Structure 1
Amino acid sequence: MSAGSAAHRRAEARSLPAAAVIDADGVVLGWTRAAERLLGYRPADIVGHSAAILLTPGDHDERLSSWAREYGHRDSWSGLAEVRHRSGDRLVLHLQGHRLPAADGRSAWVLSANPASMKAALEPLVEPLVQRSPVAIWIWDRDLRCVWRNAKARHFHEVLSLCGDGEAPPEEPLLHRDSQVAKLVRQALEDGTPVIDNEVRLAAVDGSTRTLSISVFRLDDVDGLPIGVCSLAIDVTQSMARERVSLLVEASTSIGTSLDVWQTAQELAQFGVPDLADYVVVDLVESVLPESVLPDDDDPDRPSAETYSSVFRRAGMASSRPSGPPSPWARGEVVFLPPDSPYTDVLATGCSFFEPVVDTSPGTWMDHDPKRARVTREEGMHSRMVVPLRARGETLGVTAFIRSANPTPFTWDDLIIAEEFVARAALSLDSARRYTRERTAALALQHSLLPRRLSGGDVMEVAHRYLPSGTHSGVGGDWYDAIPLDDGRIAVVVGDVTGHGINAAALMGRVRTAVRTLAYLGMPPCELLARLDVLVAQLHEQDDEGDDSTLLSRSSTCMYAVYDPATRRLSMATAGHPPPVVVHPDGEAAFPELFVGPPVGLALGSYASVEVELPAGTVVALYTDGLIERRDDDLDAGMERLREALASRVGLPLEILCTSVINAMVGGRAAEDDVALLVIRTR
């Protein structure tokens, strides 16, 4: 054999893949020199021993058994695996296995291995398929280094701040370890749970923001261990359908959180900043706002009648500037508009005004609106949209969207989005306006039906307080009265009509009139309530017209008492109403025990009167349940708070006592129901 042929055979042997023979129990039966060169184990170190020694640290035997169960029935297989060099280093190998039938019926496998990085192993398999894919694809190793990416991913790397410098070579970018993408990759490495369609916002090198839809899944070797992560991304920044749905969902929860016109207008202005505009104002017509006041004819800033045709009131304004919106008009101020203003056209036609590039040159409508023109030029406002606030066929005002810091002009898609959420805001504004009008009317009706002055004459002092509900349910039917009778006695009464709004206020007035009429007949409290029960039921029968409302919804509670100064005795009866508080001059306070009859209006009730003696200077408080009710407490606790509040203040002048008790019971919170309090002190 020549020296040349021997050298050739040695080179050929070195180029052969590393090989080993493993039996069914995972014991190494054969080991080549190529395997020794690849993994550092000599045949004497490995032959006759379990192949588990080659696995990375962990449950070696269990993982080897799992491998045998997965591939033991196959005649051949191939795949990637991570093994351990004798030095402790980890190597990724491309393995091929072939079954060897043995004479005893037991199988063995010949394993051949070639060193392979993930990049070398995956490129020939996936690159022809995904290199031109519109989906960006990355493969990351366990150190968050990119070992493979397609052309779309390379483009993303150029325009997005996705990777840091690190110590990786340019062909293996290192993922920003504190970024949202890195968190998704680490999560997939740790628990193996895929992440599908997770939206991530990333900064672009041009200063803009891109939104990517990212999906991530883990890559495992043949041993089931993670060797990397594959991530896929689609740029959804320009997906208008997604953006529109997202904005509308957010608008439905951010605008119209209360039935207050001013707050709703401000929520609309704030919602448009900064995602859509740099500056948003909401101007409403005077009729929409509660307690509107027309502009003063003597206002020095008011233009002449020939130079304006419309009047708005600034109801909401917001800006992306920390210093606030640049505007010559503050919230609540009157805004005058010239006849040729686009704001006037929007109000008249109900159609939006779209000006992607604002024209500030002389000869435009802004010549007649110098305040607006000055701010437009000083602030560099270059793009404008004016959208009408229309609801139920009526224009309530306009909303203006303006860009100054954002250099991109508005597009027609921006106008569509603005019109959609302004339309929803207009419905909230109209609901708030209608609620405010009805509440104002109900309050006015109720105040006109309640007594303006109550007097106990020489018999007793009388003081009262009424506090309307601060909730959206509307004005209730709480009422009170003090009625001097012909024989020197005085009747006091407090009641609560079921329901809220104008109808409840109207029914309250009828019930109060009925009680006054019956009181003048001089009948005892129990008989008066029995008559009132039948009378209110008849009123409901006349008004129902086939209405199938429940009896309880047509009932009213009432507490009626008559004080006789000759005997110093107070006779009282109740129809479903809480008992009064009797406070003696020494501060002892208690609730008298009463027979509680059903509310009036059911025509089913029977009532009983109870008498108590009142020494001079005794305080008696009649009230409605709104004073003692709280959502987080029961009535007994509320009654005890009222008893303590009266007992500790019995020596105060009656008017001051009333105010002090209301403050103690309600405090600074909005009343959950109407509150009526009537307090008397015997002379």
Structure 2
Amino acid sequence: MDRVAAVAIIDTRGWVTGWSEGARLLTGHPAEAVVGRPAAELLAAELPAKALAARTGTRHGTVALRHREGHRLDLAVTACPLDGGDGRPAGYAVTAEPPGVTFAAQAFEQASMSMSVFDLQQRYLRLNDAACKVIGVPEEGLTGRFFLDTVADTESNRGFARHLREVAETGLPVRYESFAAAPALNREHFWSLEMWPLRDASGTQTAVALAAYDSNEQYWARRRLALLNEAAAHIGTTLDVVRTAEELIEILVPRYADFATVDLLDWVLGADEPPMVTADDVELHRVAYTSTRPGSPGVAVRVGETQIYRPPAPPACALREGHAILSQAGEPGFRAWLADRNERAPQGARFREGVHSMIAVPLRARGTTLGVAVCVRLAHPEDYGPDDAVFAEELASRAAVCIDNARRFARERSTALALQHSLLPSGLPGQAALDVAHRYLPCGSQAGIGGDWFDVIPLSGGRVGLVVGDVVGHGISSSATMGRLRTAVRTLADVDLPPDELLTHLDDLVTHLAAENGREEVAEIGATCVYAVYDPVSRRLTLATAGHPAPFLVLPGGDGAELVPLTAGPPLGIGGLPFEATELELPEGSVVALFTDGLVAHRAGNPDGADDELRRAVGASADSLDALADGVLKAVLPDQPGDDVALLLVRTRALGADRVATWDVPAHPAQVAVVRQAAGEQLAAWGLEETAFVTELVVSELVTNAIRYGEPPIQLRLIRDRALICEVSDASSTSPHLRRAHAYDEGGRGLLLVAQLTQRWGSRQTAAGKTIWAEQPLPDA
């Protein structure tokens, strides 16, 4: 049931002359008990002296009445003078609002949010105190005025009027948010607005009510949270220190700052660990900056240049104190920073006006300071506040962890790369059997340096060992494992093991390494390898593979490159399966390309296409092996290889009959003098008379040992290569051992003399027995 207005008519004497039904319902007094009596008899407290002396329409304070049942009623009353015809009032119409209406009016007036009422033509009818404070105009100056006549002509104000008209025309409420200026607040605020229709008792729409809540703090809090979420996804996408700093700058400008810089300490950009003690004047390197102005005209220090911040400048204080420092225009620290900055800046890049607030925040990760970020506001009207400092520290903390991760990755990569290069051959040994070209490219991805390696190993008899391998995984551990395997291959090659036997021993080594490291799966420390031996005398290439890609072979005058037909063995570390060797006789000038799978790994989805691409590149014509190696890498590799790449190209040579002399030796002691004389004659034919004495002595000792302790057939061979090689072969598999003869021993000094007189010596097993060899340097070496 709708409330009925409580109205009383009081004459100039203060007597009640009229009493409405609403007055009866409100006070409990019927009209017959009140009319004709003084109004003062209804009061529960003394009436204010000027309670009825106000003008029409003016609201007054509360008046205390006594209810018929005895309790007190505090009512807000309004007195309207009644015209007596002679210009003087004949009485007053006093209207009292029921308690519920009074509370509603008080709530409207005292609400902290801005509340207004408009008629259906967008004219002000009523405003509360909060609305008047926001607008900066009292209620009397706005009542009855059209809304758009009281505000500036902006898009947000036009939208406000459009929504008022929409509610008036449709009768439906509207709720929306707007970023608009408020005249009395001197800056834009974010507002949550709600408009709804007001209706009378009959349901007819009479006005439009508005409530506007200043949600500026909540808006900026949401914006800061959104920036933090965005930063989590966009900062640290690479393991590059400079790029990470640039990503931080991209988050800050323009939404948080108009100008921002990131400066890092010198050691962060290098491979050093953080220094133990830092001075107050610390030199920093500018790594990133940006501005809302095109071309960043306000920058004083460019990328790559150094900057020194000194107290009381906020960046220096932030570095020293370890937390964000706020500074506003006019403060000593702000003036010091601005003066130092303008002193360094070119004339056209100096900040003259508009810079009103800045914040400097240290970049700290894991308890270590890495640098400082500086944010400056020019176009942003709001100064930085405490909430901005909390946000800056949170954002800087996340960015600093990403920068530190990138720094640590760069340091580990640098260490692994240095280790890798130290373990790879810095220069290949001289030999006459092959022309060699090699390339090694470290991995360009975030996975880190791998365990690829290659080697060229001179063997006895002018032969050369070729090896290319790849250790599973990336990083320092893979490089260290690679170094151990390369050393093992060289050791096994030095005892002249055939390729298949060498891989068998290498497989055992990988299995033992896995066991030493407590790996449950041997494959975790596995590797692949291809090992080949080329003999320039027989022009034979013998090779075996352990899970490694087969080499490509280009024959002179051929139609291109073809894969060497190999029997593929298992990767190293699997164990239990044999390795098989393949032997090829190659014409002189053949090109063999050994490589790791990094050359074709980027085409993992199309391995056949990758092999065809590599085949064409290897088979292409080139002026030299080095030019061919460069052409292969350029043809098949992307700009940033996803894995390490090792490439070894060799072109075969042959030692002709004019450089090799061979004699079959009957197993009789008298033949020692015969072969000694034949060897001397051959040396004379080669012009090597200076080596005759030593060579004849070596031939005598080796042939004598073969006749005495070996088995026929016996063969002597002299090879003129980069050194003079003397080889004696027999059918016995028993290898000689060097020993020191005692004073009264009649024998045991032969091999000791050979070892002393030659550059190096040794023995190797052959399919028919063994070969003992010794090398002497040539006179012109």
**The two structures share one fold, judged by TM-score above 0.5:** yes
Aligned with residue 579 of structure 1, among 543, 546, 550: 550
Matched, 1:497 2:471: yes
Q: Which residue of 2 aligns with 1:634?
A: 606
CA–CA separation in structure 2 for the residues paired with 1:571 and 1:232: 91
CA gap of 1:165–1:284, structure 2 versus 1, over 3 A, is: closer
Q: Which residue of 2 aligns with 1:73?
A: none
Contact 1:161 1:204 in 2 (8 A): no
Q: Which residue of 2 aligns with 1:665?
A: 636
Matched, 1:347 2:319: yes
CA–CA separation in structure 1 for the residues paired with 2:462 and 2:126: 100
TM-superposed CA distance for 1:510, in Å, is 0.6
Aligned with residue 172 of structure 1, among 160, 165, 175: 165
CA gap of 1:170–1:422, structure 2 versus 1, over 3 A, is: closer
Q: Which residue of 2 aligns with 1:404?
A: 378
CA gap of 1:338–1:131, structure 2 versus 1, over 3 A, is: closer
TM-superposed CA distance for 1:412, in Å, is 1.2
TM-superposed CA distance for 1:367, in Å, is 6.4
Matched, 1:474 2:474: no
Matched, 1:678 2:685: no
CA–CA separation in structure 2 for the residues paired with 1:369 and 1:554: 55
* 1:378 alignment partner, SS class: coil
- CA deviation string 1:487-536 (max 9, x = no partner): 21111111001111111111111100000110111111111000000012
CA gap of 1:232–1:475, structure 2 versus 1, over 3 A, is: farther
* Structure 2 counterparts to residues 194-273 of structure 1, below 5 A: 204=181, 236-239=215-218, 240-273=220-253
Q: Which residue of 1 aligns with 2:59?
A: none
Matched, 1:279 2:279: no
TM-superposed CA distance for 1:404, in Å, is 2.1
TM-superposed CA distance for 1:170, in Å, is 10
* One-letter amino acid of the structure 1 residue matched with residue 266 of structure 2: E
TM-superposed CA distance for 1:539, in Å, is 2.3
CA–CA separation in structure 1 for the residues paired with 2:625 and 2:174: 69
Contact 1:358 1:383 in 2 (8 A): no
- CA deviation string 1:531-552 (max 9, x = no partner): 000012212322x1x443x222
Matched, 1:593 2:596: no
TM-superposed CA distance for 1:613, in Å, is 2.4
* Structure 2 counterparts to residues 43-62 of structure 1, below 5 A: none
CA–CA separation in structure 1 for the residues paired with 2:418 and 2:545: 28
TM-superposed CA distance for 1:456, in Å, is 6.1
* 1:432 alignment partner, SS class: helix
CA gap of 1:171–1:625, structure 2 versus 1, over 3 A, is: closer
* One-letter amino acid of the structure 1 residue matched with residue 403 of structure 2: L
* One-letter amino acid of the structure 1 residue matched with residue 505 of structure 2: R
TM-superposed CA distance for 1:405, in Å, is 2.7
CA gap of 1:264–1:242, structure 2 versus 1, over 3 A, is: same
TM-superposed CA distance for 1:600, in Å, is 1.1
Aligned with residue 511 of structure 1, among 468, 485, 504: 485
CA–CA separation in structure 2 for the residues paired with 1:150 and 1:674: 78
* 2:628 alignment partner, SS class: helix
Contact 2:526 2:573 in 1 (8 A): yes
Q: Which residue of 1 aligns with 2:355?
A: 381
Q: Which residue of 1 aligns with 2:540?
A: 569
Q: Which residue of 2 aligns with 1:161?
A: 155
Q: Which residue of 2 aligns with 1:317?
A: 289
Contact 1:366 1:372 in 2 (8 A): no
- CA deviation string 1:610-654 (max 9, x = no partner): 11222222111111111101266232221121001112x244311
CA–CA separation in structure 2 for the residues paired with 1:281 and 1:169: 43
Contact 2:329 2:335 in 1 (8 A): no
Aligned with residue 288 of structure 1, among 258, 268, 279: 268
Aligned with residue 420 of structure 1, among 394, 399, 410: 394
Contact 1:489 1:565 in 2 (8 A): yes
CA gap of 1:169–1:655, structure 2 versus 1, over 3 A, is: closer
* One-letter amino acid of the structure 2 residue matched with residue 262 of structure 1: V
Q: Which residue of 1 aligns with 2:45?
A: none
CA gap of 1:195–1:665, structure 2 versus 1, over 3 A, is: farther
Aligned with residue 557 of structure 1, among 523, 528, 532: 528
TM-score (norm 2): 0.57
Contact 2:301 2:344 in 1 (8 A): no
TM-superposed CA distance for 1:353, in Å, is 1.6
Matched, 1:617 2:589: yes
CA–CA separation in structure 2 for the residues paired with 1:605 and 1:599: 10
Q: Which residue of 2 aligns with 1:96?
A: none
* One-letter amino acid of the structure 1 residue matched with residue 461 of structure 2: D
Contact 2:342 2:350 in 1 (8 A): no
Matched, 1:334 2:317: no
CA–CA separation in structure 2 for the residues paired with 1:634 and 1:150: 77
CA–CA separation in structure 2 for the residues paired with 1:150 and 1:573: 97
Q: Which residue of 2 aligns with 1:58?
A: none
- CA deviation string 1:103-161 (max 9, x = no partner): xxxxxxxxxxxxxxxxxxxxxxxx99x999999999xxxxxx999x9989x99986873
If asked which structure has higher relative contact order (CA below 8 Å, sep 6+), I would say 1
Q: Which residue of 2 aligns with 1:462?
A: 436
CA–CA separation in structure 2 for the residues paired with 1:276 and 1:561: 63
CA–CA separation in structure 1 for the residues paired with 2:403 and 2:553: 47
Contact 1:146 1:174 in 2 (8 A): no
Higher mean C-alpha displacement, 562-571 vs 596-605 = 596-605
Pick the structure with greater CA Rg. Answer: 2
- CA deviation string 1:183-227 (max 9, x = no partner): xx9xxx9xxxx999x9x765658797665679999xxxxxxxxxx
* One-letter amino acid of the structure 2 residue matched with residue 681 of structure 1: R
- CA deviation string 1:164-185 (max 9, x = no partner): 599x99963699xxxxxxxxx9
TM-superposed CA distance for 1:317, in Å, is 0.6
CA–CA separation in structure 2 for the residues paired with 1:455 and 1:315: 44
Q: Which residue of 2 aligns with 1:35?
A: none
TM-score (norm 1): 0.65
TM-superposed CA distance for 1:416, in Å, is 1.3
Give me the CA root mean square deviation: 4.3
Higher mean C-alpha displacement, 404-413 vs 672-681 = 404-413
CA–CA separation in structure 2 for the residues paired with 1:355 and 1:632: 55
CA gap of 1:522–1:242, structure 2 versus 1, over 3 A, is: same
Contact 1:455 1:462 in 2 (8 A): no
* Structure 2 counterparts to residues 432-447 of structure 1, below 5 A: 432-447=406-421
Q: Which residue of 2 aligns with 1:522?
A: 496
* 1:599 alignment partner, SS class: coil
CA–CA separation in structure 2 for the residues paired with 1:162 and 1:131: 25
Structure 2 unaligned blocks of 5 or more: 1-103, 136-146, 197-209, 273-278, 654-781
CA–CA separation in structure 2 for the residues paired with 1:205 and 1:441: 60
CA–CA separation in structure 2 for the residues paired with 1:380 and 1:169: 35
* One-letter amino acid of the structure 1 residue matched with residue 545 of structure 2: T
CA gap of 1:169–1:440, structure 2 versus 1, over 3 A, is: closer
CA gap of 1:380–1:602, structure 2 versus 1, over 3 A, is: same
CA gap of 1:524–1:358, structure 2 versus 1, over 3 A, is: farther
Aligned-pair identity (%): 41
CA–CA separation in structure 1 for the residues paired with 2:510 and 2:192: 66
TM-superposed CA distance for 1:407, in Å, is 3.5
CA–CA separation in structure 1 for the residues paired with 2:300 and 2:596: 49
* One-letter amino acid of the structure 1 residue matched with residue 301 of structure 2: W
Q: Which residue of 2 aligns with 1:655?
A: 626
* One-letter amino acid of the structure 2 residue matched with residue 622 of structure 1: L
* 1:597 alignment partner, SS class: coil
* One-letter amino acid of the structure 1 residue matched with residue 445 of structure 2: T
CA gap of 1:455–1:659, structure 2 versus 1, over 3 A, is: farther
Q: Which residue of 2 aligns with 1:36?
A: none
* One-letter amino acid of the structure 2 residue matched with residue 612 of structure 1: L
